[in-house]
Amino acid sequence: QVQLVESGGGLVQAGDSLRLSCVVSGRTSSIYAMGWFRQAAGREREFVAAVTWLGGSTDYADSVKGRFTISRDRPKNKLYLQMNSLEPEDTAVYYCAALLRYLSFMRNSKEYNYWGQGTQVTVSS
């Protein structure tokens, strides 16, 4: 079992920065990768970024590449998403997720086994 709790969301203006955090507990040794996904109102959940837990290899959605940075602090069992140059289009509920299967396709939300409760990010223009 893996438990995930996101935090750090809020209301910001376009161009601002925000850092999301995700506390990971439980059997962290079973984790292959961690990802961030988001779901805007009336839209489907979409991939944002992912990182392999041990190796630190990253992957980003084109929409956030160059603006967002995913990172993890393994000793602290934390996952982060640094979001810079935020745009109104980034407004969504952001979820962290844990993927257990080795060499899974990290962009696919259906591959993930555990999910946090989500944290709201709202970017005003």
Residue 104 reports pLDDT greater than 90: no
49: buried, middle or exposed (CB in 10 Å: 19+, 13-18, 0-12)?
buried
Tens of pLDDT, residues 55-94: 999 999 999 999 999 999 999 999 999 999 999 999 999 9
Instruction: Say if residues 7 and 19 touch (Cβ distance below 8 Å).
Output: no
Instruction: Say if residues 67 and 36 touch (Cβ distance below 8 Å).
Output: no
What is the band of 14 on the pLDDT scale with cuts at 50, 70, 90? very high
